[in-house]
Amino acid sequence: MVEGLTGSRLPQSQVDQQIRELEARLVREQDRVPAQVVHDWVERARARFARARVLTFVPILVERAVRAEFRAVAPRHSSGERLADWARRTARDILAVELPRRWAHTQGVAERAEEVARVLSPEEGDVLVASAWLHDIGYASALNVLGFHQLDGARFLAEHGVARRVCALVAHHAGAAAVAELEGLGPQLAEFEDERGPVRDALWYADMTTSPDGLRVSFADRMAELRGRRGPEDPVVRALAVNGAERAAAVRRTEQLLSRHAVPA
């Protein structure tokens, strides 16, 4: 039995039932987040408040904690805010705590993208840098639905009204199409158009010349690291037989673009 504020005793079973009902309600309200993720958040919050003196309040505290998790992954882009600034803030909120190494990589990719953005128009540069900040958000547990980070990230952004072009760049970055075919996700990825041009090239370049820790590396070293880390049976590595040349060409074209503007690659 649990002591309430008025001195009445609330059965533990009633507290448990309230939390189960809370979880079911949150799953219905927040269908963009997988039910298992909501469950994990609820259980984590419940453990956090397990020693509360007045357990009657635990369902309320759990709900507040879980809603804070939802807010952390809910994009809010105001029309007066530069897209790239919003993207940086959103990526930080989604990745920095849960996936700090992925966040370090993302920061490095965005830095490379900023360098290329200087030789593009302001509008194109903003799209490029925003896409760089957002390209790996699909790795976050709250967004991981298909287990294919490019598509999970793109769908999440599309559901929240982010510019379709940014969603598509996120969906197709780093040769995603070849991997999607191996994973049986080609039709789903085809929901997003794969643009071919300097912005798409530059996003691939930025990603493929940045190490997992955010350091600048050569394309060759990045591919060697990827093969070593993932192993030969990983779909991303197997897909290199199809998209390896396309990856290299995107890097080469971007390096040529930078060279024409006397920017070190």
CA dihedral for 5, 7, 8, 12, sign (positive or negative): positive
Is 180 in contact with 164 (CB distance < 8 Å)? no
Q: What is the pLDDT of residues 162-218, one digit of tens each?
A: 899 999 999 999 999 999 999 999 999 999 999 999 999 999 999 999 999 999 999
Indicate if the pLDDT at residue 253 is higher than 80.
yes
C-alpha 230/C-alpha 221 separation (Å) is 14
Q: Per-domain residue ranges for the chain?
A: 2-72, 83-260
Q: What is the pLDDT of residues 35-52, one digit of tens each?
A: 877 888 899 888 888 777
Is 219 in contact with 248 (CB distance < 8 Å)? yes
Which two tokens mark 243?
């998209």
Give the model's confidence band at 32: pLDDT under 50 very low, under 70 low, under 90 confident, else very high: low
Distances (CA, A) of 90 to 76, 187, 203, 212, 250: 8, 28, 18, 20, 27
Q: What fold does the segment set 83-260 form as a domain?
A: Hypothetical protein af1432 (1.10.3210)
Indicate if the pLDDT at residue 8 is higher than 50.
no
Q: What is the pLDDT of residues 93-113, one digit of tens each?
A: 889 988 999 999 999 999 999
Indicate if the pLDDT at residue 131 is higher than 90.
yes
pTM score of the predicted model:
0.75
Total number of residues shown for the chain: 265
Give every CB contact of residue 126 below 8 A, 6+ residues apart in sequence. Answer: 82, 83, 84, 117
